[in-house]
Structure 1
Amino acid sequence: MKKITSLLSIMALTAVFSTSALAQQSASASAPTSTTIVAPIGITKTTSMTFGSFATGGAGTLVMTSAAVRSATGGVKLTTITGSPTAAEFSVTGQASYGYDITLPASLTLTTTATGTVNTMIVNTFTSSLTNSKGTLGTDGTNSFTVGATLNVLASQVVGTYTNADGFAVTVNYN
Protein backbone atom coordinates (compact mmCIF):
# COMPACT_ATOMS: atom_id res chain seq x y z
CA MET A 1 0.00 0.00 0.00
CA LYS A 2 2.93 2.21 0.75
CA LYS A 3 4.20 1.65 -2.79
CA ILE A 4 0.85 2.59 -4.26
CA THR A 5 0.70 5.77 -2.16
CA SER A 6 4.25 6.70 -3.14
CA LEU A 7 3.50 5.98 -6.77
CA LEU A 8 0.35 8.11 -6.64
CA SER A 9 2.27 10.94 -4.97
CA ILE A 10 4.96 10.81 -7.64
CA MET A 11 2.33 10.85 -10.40
CA ALA A 12 0.54 13.79 -8.80
CA LEU A 13 3.78 15.78 -8.48
CA THR A 14 4.77 14.95 -12.05
CA ALA A 15 1.38 16.19 -13.30
CA VAL A 16 1.68 19.44 -11.34
CA PHE A 17 5.21 20.16 -12.54
CA SER A 18 4.54 19.22 -16.15
CA THR A 19 1.43 21.45 -16.23
CA SER A 20 3.42 24.30 -14.70
CA ALA A 21 6.22 23.74 -17.19
CA LEU A 22 3.80 23.79 -20.12
CA ALA A 23 2.04 26.89 -18.85
CA GLN A 24 5.36 28.72 -18.62
CA GLN A 25 6.43 27.95 -22.20
CA SER A 26 5.75 30.67 -24.83
CA ALA A 27 6.76 31.51 -28.36
CA SER A 28 7.03 34.77 -30.25
CA ALA A 29 7.79 36.01 -33.73
CA SER A 30 8.63 39.41 -35.13
CA ALA A 31 7.46 41.04 -38.34
CA PRO A 32 9.66 43.68 -39.95
CA THR A 33 7.67 46.75 -41.03
CA SER A 34 8.31 49.10 -43.93
CA THR A 35 6.66 51.58 -46.27
CA THR A 36 7.54 53.32 -49.52
CA ILE A 37 6.74 56.90 -50.38
CA VAL A 38 6.20 57.37 -54.12
CA ALA A 39 6.31 60.56 -56.15
CA PRO A 40 2.99 62.40 -56.02
CA ILE A 41 0.90 62.15 -59.16
CA GLY A 42 0.30 65.37 -61.06
CA ILE A 43 -1.48 66.57 -64.18
CA THR A 44 -1.12 69.69 -66.30
CA LYS A 45 -2.94 70.91 -69.39
CA THR A 46 -0.65 71.00 -72.43
CA THR A 47 -3.20 72.04 -75.09
CA SER A 48 -6.72 73.47 -74.80
CA MET A 49 -9.66 71.98 -76.71
CA THR A 50 -10.81 74.03 -79.67
CA PHE A 51 -13.71 72.88 -81.84
CA GLY A 52 -12.83 75.36 -84.60
CA SER A 53 -15.40 77.21 -86.65
CA PHE A 54 -18.56 75.88 -88.25
CA ALA A 55 -21.84 77.04 -89.76
CA THR A 56 -25.24 75.95 -88.59
CA GLY A 57 -28.43 75.44 -90.52
CA GLY A 58 -30.19 73.63 -87.68
CA ALA A 59 -29.62 71.43 -84.66
CA GLY A 60 -26.74 68.98 -84.71
CA THR A 61 -23.41 68.08 -83.19
CA LEU A 62 -19.76 68.75 -83.78
CA VAL A 63 -17.59 65.88 -82.56
CA MET A 64 -13.91 66.35 -81.76
CA THR A 65 -12.24 62.97 -81.30
CA SER A 66 -9.30 62.49 -78.96
CA ALA A 67 -7.20 62.24 -82.17
CA ALA A 68 -8.34 65.80 -83.12
CA VAL A 69 -10.56 64.62 -85.99
CA ARG A 70 -13.77 66.63 -86.43
CA SER A 71 -17.11 65.41 -87.76
CA ALA A 72 -20.55 66.98 -87.89
CA THR A 73 -24.15 65.76 -87.79
CA GLY A 74 -27.51 67.37 -88.50
CA GLY A 75 -27.46 71.06 -89.39
CA VAL A 76 -23.81 71.56 -88.38
CA LYS A 77 -21.55 72.21 -91.39
CA LEU A 78 -17.76 72.23 -91.04
CA THR A 79 -16.08 75.25 -92.62
CA THR A 80 -12.75 75.39 -94.43
CA ILE A 81 -11.61 78.16 -92.09
CA THR A 82 -11.47 75.98 -89.02
CA GLY A 83 -9.88 78.14 -86.32
CA SER A 84 -7.21 75.50 -85.53
CA PRO A 85 -9.32 72.68 -84.07
CA THR A 86 -7.45 70.63 -81.45
CA ALA A 87 -8.21 67.99 -78.89
CA ALA A 88 -7.16 68.86 -75.35
CA GLU A 89 -3.87 67.34 -74.24
CA PHE A 90 -2.75 66.62 -70.68
CA SER A 91 0.62 65.58 -69.25
CA VAL A 92 0.80 63.28 -66.22
CA THR A 93 3.81 63.00 -63.90
CA GLY A 94 4.49 60.66 -61.00
CA GLN A 95 6.18 57.43 -59.99
CA ALA A 96 7.90 55.66 -62.89
CA SER A 97 5.97 52.69 -64.33
CA TYR A 98 2.92 53.19 -62.08
CA GLY A 99 -0.59 52.91 -63.53
CA TYR A 100 -3.19 55.66 -63.26
CA ASP A 101 -6.88 56.31 -63.95
CA ILE A 102 -8.47 59.50 -65.22
CA THR A 103 -11.94 60.87 -64.58
CA LEU A 104 -13.49 63.03 -67.29
CA PRO A 105 -16.31 65.52 -66.72
CA ALA A 106 -19.92 64.77 -67.60
CA SER A 107 -20.57 68.10 -69.32
CA LEU A 108 -19.42 71.68 -69.77
CA THR A 109 -21.32 74.80 -70.80
CA LEU A 110 -19.91 77.26 -73.35
CA THR A 111 -21.36 80.77 -73.38
CA THR A 112 -21.42 83.88 -75.57
CA THR A 113 -22.84 87.34 -75.04
CA ALA A 114 -22.49 88.34 -78.70
CA THR A 115 -26.10 89.57 -78.88
CA GLY A 116 -26.11 91.23 -75.45
CA THR A 117 -27.78 88.21 -73.84
CA VAL A 118 -26.21 84.99 -72.63
CA ASN A 119 -26.44 82.10 -75.10
CA THR A 120 -25.08 78.62 -74.35
CA MET A 121 -24.00 75.34 -75.90
CA ILE A 122 -23.38 72.09 -74.02
CA VAL A 123 -20.22 70.01 -74.45
CA ASN A 124 -20.50 66.38 -73.30
CA THR A 125 -19.54 62.79 -74.17
CA PHE A 126 -15.88 63.37 -73.29
CA THR A 127 -13.50 60.67 -74.54
CA SER A 128 -9.77 60.11 -74.10
CA SER A 129 -6.96 58.47 -76.03
CA LEU A 130 -6.46 56.08 -73.08
CA THR A 131 -8.04 52.64 -73.19
CA ASN A 132 -10.74 52.45 -70.49
CA SER A 133 -9.41 55.73 -69.03
CA LYS A 134 -6.27 53.94 -67.78
CA GLY A 135 -2.67 54.91 -68.46
CA THR A 136 0.82 53.92 -67.34
CA LEU A 137 3.64 56.31 -66.54
CA GLY A 138 6.84 55.67 -68.46
CA THR A 139 10.20 54.79 -66.95
CA ASP A 140 10.83 58.55 -66.71
CA GLY A 141 7.60 59.01 -64.68
CA THR A 142 5.68 60.85 -67.44
CA ASN A 143 2.87 60.16 -69.89
CA SER A 144 0.33 62.17 -71.85
CA PHE A 145 -3.12 61.68 -73.32
CA THR A 146 -5.66 63.65 -75.34
CA VAL A 147 -9.35 64.35 -74.77
CA GLY A 148 -12.17 64.95 -77.25
CA ALA A 149 -15.87 65.70 -76.76
CA THR A 150 -19.18 66.45 -78.49
CA LEU A 151 -20.51 69.99 -78.95
CA ASN A 152 -24.32 70.09 -79.04
CA VAL A 153 -25.70 72.83 -81.31
CA LEU A 154 -29.31 74.04 -81.05
CA ALA A 155 -31.42 74.84 -84.10
CA SER A 156 -31.55 78.48 -83.04
CA GLN A 157 -27.91 78.81 -82.01
CA VAL A 158 -26.76 82.45 -82.03
CA VAL A 159 -23.67 83.33 -84.09
CA GLY A 160 -20.67 84.22 -81.93
CA THR A 161 -17.59 82.93 -80.13
CA TYR A 162 -18.53 80.57 -77.30
CA THR A 163 -16.08 79.97 -74.45
CA ASN A 164 -15.70 78.58 -70.96
CA ALA A 165 -12.69 80.33 -69.44
CA ASP A 166 -12.59 77.92 -66.48
CA GLY A 167 -12.29 74.94 -68.82
CA PHE A 168 -13.04 71.38 -67.80
CA ALA A 169 -11.39 69.37 -65.03
CA VAL A 170 -9.70 66.02 -65.56
CA THR A 171 -8.79 64.11 -62.40
CA VAL A 172 -5.91 61.63 -62.26
CA ASN A 173 -5.28 59.00 -59.55
CA TYR A 174 -2.89 56.11 -59.13
CA ASN A 175 -4.62 52.77 -59.62
Structure 2
Amino acid sequence: MKKITSIVTLITALVAVSTTANAQATATAASGATIVTPISITKQIDLNFGNVAVTTISGTVIMTPGGVRSTTGGVTLPTTSGDVTAASFTVSGQADYTYNVTLPTADITLAGLTPANTMSLGSFISSPSTTAGVLTSGTQTLTVGGTLNVKAGQEADTYANAEDLTVTVNYN
Protein backbone atom coordinates (compact mmCIF):
# COMPACT_ATOMS: atom_id res chain seq x y z
CA MET A 1 0.00 0.00 0.00
CA LYS A 2 2.90 2.29 0.75
CA LYS A 3 4.30 1.64 -2.70
CA ILE A 4 1.00 2.44 -4.37
CA THR A 5 0.64 5.65 -2.37
CA SER A 6 4.21 6.65 -3.26
CA ILE A 7 3.65 5.90 -6.94
CA VAL A 8 0.36 7.87 -7.00
CA THR A 9 2.05 10.80 -5.22
CA LEU A 10 4.95 10.70 -7.67
CA ILE A 11 2.64 10.56 -10.68
CA THR A 12 0.54 13.45 -9.31
CA ALA A 13 3.65 15.55 -8.75
CA LEU A 14 4.93 14.85 -12.29
CA VAL A 15 1.56 15.71 -13.83
CA ALA A 16 1.37 18.96 -11.84
CA VAL A 17 4.89 20.02 -12.86
CA SER A 18 4.43 19.11 -16.53
CA THR A 19 1.04 20.88 -16.73
CA THR A 20 2.48 24.07 -15.25
CA ALA A 21 5.53 23.99 -17.55
CA ASN A 22 3.40 23.62 -20.69
CA ALA A 23 0.70 26.14 -19.76
CA GLN A 24 2.90 29.27 -20.13
CA ALA A 25 5.74 30.39 -22.41
CA THR A 26 7.67 33.65 -22.63
CA ALA A 27 9.61 35.35 -25.42
CA THR A 28 11.25 38.75 -25.74
CA ALA A 29 11.77 41.14 -28.65
CA ALA A 30 14.06 44.12 -29.11
CA SER A 31 12.60 47.57 -29.82
CA GLY A 32 14.08 50.40 -31.84
CA ALA A 33 13.54 53.39 -34.10
CA THR A 34 15.60 55.39 -36.56
CA ILE A 35 15.25 59.17 -36.67
CA VAL A 36 15.93 60.48 -40.18
CA THR A 37 17.13 63.92 -41.16
CA PRO A 38 14.13 66.26 -41.35
CA ILE A 39 13.22 67.38 -44.87
CA SER A 40 13.60 71.09 -45.57
CA ILE A 41 13.25 73.49 -48.49
CA THR A 42 15.03 76.81 -49.01
CA LYS A 43 14.33 79.33 -51.77
CA GLN A 44 17.36 80.19 -53.90
CA ILE A 45 15.90 82.18 -56.85
CA ASP A 46 12.53 83.90 -57.41
CA LEU A 47 10.29 83.21 -60.43
CA ASN A 48 10.67 86.08 -62.91
CA PHE A 49 9.13 86.29 -66.37
CA GLY A 50 11.35 89.20 -67.46
CA ASN A 51 10.21 91.82 -69.97
CA VAL A 52 6.90 91.12 -71.71
CA ALA A 53 5.06 93.11 -74.40
CA VAL A 54 1.33 92.88 -75.12
CA THR A 55 -1.01 94.00 -77.88
CA THR A 56 -4.76 94.45 -77.82
CA ILE A 57 -5.07 90.66 -77.65
CA SER A 58 -4.63 88.79 -74.35
CA GLY A 59 -2.20 85.92 -74.04
CA THR A 60 0.19 84.08 -71.76
CA VAL A 61 3.85 83.70 -70.99
CA ILE A 62 4.76 80.11 -70.11
CA MET A 63 7.90 79.56 -68.05
CA THR A 64 9.27 76.00 -67.93
CA PRO A 65 11.08 74.73 -64.83
CA GLY A 66 14.22 74.99 -67.00
CA GLY A 67 13.77 78.76 -67.30
CA VAL A 68 12.62 78.81 -70.94
CA ARG A 69 9.80 81.19 -71.91
CA SER A 70 7.22 80.87 -74.65
CA THR A 71 4.10 82.91 -75.44
CA THR A 72 0.55 82.59 -76.71
CA GLY A 73 -1.94 85.14 -78.06
CA GLY A 74 -0.96 88.79 -78.28
CA VAL A 75 2.06 88.51 -76.00
CA THR A 76 5.60 88.90 -77.34
CA LEU A 77 9.05 88.73 -75.76
CA PRO A 78 11.21 91.81 -76.46
CA THR A 79 14.84 91.39 -77.47
CA THR A 80 15.86 92.92 -74.15
CA SER A 81 14.61 90.04 -72.03
CA GLY A 82 15.29 91.40 -68.55
CA ASP A 83 15.74 89.02 -65.63
CA VAL A 84 14.29 85.63 -66.69
CA THR A 85 14.41 82.82 -64.11
CA ALA A 86 12.39 79.85 -63.01
CA ALA A 87 11.99 79.68 -59.24
CA SER A 88 14.69 77.55 -57.66
CA PHE A 89 14.72 75.81 -54.28
CA THR A 90 17.15 73.51 -52.48
CA VAL A 91 15.50 70.47 -50.90
CA SER A 92 17.55 68.82 -48.13
CA GLY A 93 16.97 65.69 -46.08
CA GLN A 94 17.86 62.03 -45.65
CA ALA A 95 20.09 60.75 -48.48
CA ASP A 96 18.36 58.45 -50.98
CA TYR A 97 14.86 59.17 -49.64
CA THR A 98 12.11 60.13 -52.06
CA TYR A 99 9.76 63.05 -51.59
CA ASN A 100 6.74 64.64 -53.19
CA VAL A 101 6.13 68.27 -54.06
CA THR A 102 2.95 70.28 -53.51
CA LEU A 103 2.55 73.37 -55.68
CA PRO A 104 -0.15 76.04 -55.41
CA THR A 105 -3.41 74.94 -57.05
CA ALA A 106 -5.01 78.39 -57.11
CA ASP A 107 -3.80 81.30 -59.22
CA ILE A 108 -1.61 83.94 -57.60
CA THR A 109 -2.32 87.62 -58.20
CA LEU A 110 0.61 89.81 -59.18
CA ALA A 111 0.01 93.49 -58.42
CA GLY A 112 1.64 96.41 -60.19
CA LEU A 113 3.22 99.41 -58.53
CA THR A 114 -0.19 100.90 -59.26
CA PRO A 115 -2.29 98.48 -57.15
CA ALA A 116 -5.21 98.50 -59.62
CA ASN A 117 -2.96 96.82 -62.19
CA THR A 118 -2.98 93.03 -61.74
CA MET A 119 -2.15 89.81 -63.57
CA SER A 120 -2.64 86.20 -62.53
CA LEU A 121 -0.06 83.43 -62.38
CA GLY A 122 -1.00 79.74 -62.28
CA SER A 123 -0.59 76.28 -63.87
CA PHE A 124 2.58 75.66 -61.87
CA ILE A 125 4.95 72.88 -62.89
CA SER A 126 8.13 71.61 -61.22
CA SER A 127 11.26 69.64 -61.97
CA PRO A 128 11.48 67.09 -60.55
CA SER A 129 7.77 66.49 -60.96
CA THR A 130 5.44 66.53 -57.98
CA THR A 131 5.97 62.80 -57.22
CA ALA A 132 9.54 62.05 -58.30
CA GLY A 133 12.06 63.82 -56.08
CA VAL A 134 15.02 61.75 -54.83
CA LEU A 135 17.56 63.14 -52.37
CA THR A 136 20.42 61.19 -53.95
CA SER A 137 23.14 62.94 -51.93
CA GLY A 138 20.85 64.40 -49.29
CA THR A 139 20.05 67.49 -51.40
CA GLN A 140 18.38 68.25 -54.70
CA THR A 141 17.55 71.40 -56.67
CA LEU A 142 13.83 71.86 -57.35
CA THR A 143 12.77 74.36 -60.02
CA VAL A 144 9.28 75.75 -60.63
CA GLY A 145 7.69 77.45 -63.63
CA GLY A 146 4.15 78.53 -64.42
CA THR A 147 1.87 80.44 -66.74
CA LEU A 148 1.48 84.23 -66.54
CA ASN A 149 -1.93 85.40 -67.83
CA VAL A 150 -1.62 88.77 -69.55
CA LYS A 151 -4.75 90.83 -70.31
CA ALA A 152 -5.31 92.56 -73.63
CA GLY A 153 -3.75 96.03 -73.36
CA GLN A 154 -2.19 95.19 -69.97
CA GLU A 155 -0.92 98.40 -68.32
CA ALA A 156 2.85 98.99 -68.43
CA ASP A 157 4.01 98.47 -64.82
CA THR A 158 6.27 96.29 -62.67
CA TYR A 159 4.19 93.39 -61.31
CA ALA A 160 5.12 91.29 -58.29
CA ASN A 161 3.90 89.14 -55.45
CA ALA A 162 6.32 88.65 -52.60
CA GLU A 163 5.21 85.39 -51.00
CA ASP A 164 2.28 83.45 -52.43
CA LEU A 165 4.33 80.94 -54.45
CA THR A 166 4.40 78.39 -51.62
CA VAL A 167 6.08 75.07 -52.38
CA THR A 168 5.79 72.21 -49.87
CA VAL A 169 7.88 69.01 -49.78
CA ASN A 170 7.20 65.80 -47.81
CA TYR A 171 8.89 62.43 -47.63
CA ASN A 172 6.98 59.67 -49.43
Q: TM-score, normalised by structure 2?
A: 0.84
Say which SS state the counterpart of residue 56 (structure 1) adopts. strand
* Residue number in structure 2 paired with 1:145: 142
Say which SS state the counterpart of residue 152 (structure 1) adopts. strand
Fraction of identical pairs, as percent: 45
Q: 1:164 to 1:131 in 2, by over 3 A?
A: closer
* Residue number in structure 1 paired with 2:83: 84
1:37 aligned to which of 35, 38, 62: 35
* Residue number in structure 2 paired with 1:3: none
Q: 1:70 to 1:15 in 2, by over 3 A?
A: same
Alpha-carbon displacement from aligned partner over 1:107-141 (angstroms, at most 9, x marks no partner): 21100143xx52211110100111343211123x1
**Which blocks of at least 5 consecutive residues in structure 1 are unaligned?**
1-5
* Residue number in structure 1 paired with 2:110: 110
Q: TM-score, normalised by structure 1?
A: 0.83
Distance in 1, matches of 2:113 and 2:97, equals 45
Alpha-carbon displacement from aligned partner over 1:57-87 (angstroms, at most 9, x marks no partner): 1211100001111000001111111112110
Distance in 1, matches of 2:96 and 2:84, equals 32
Say which SS state the counterpart of residue 30 (structure 1) adopts. coil
Tell me the number of residue pairs that the alignment of Structure 1 and Structure 2 aligns. 162
Alignment root-mean-square deviation, CA: 2.1
Say which SS state the counterpart of residue 60 (structure 1) adopts. strand
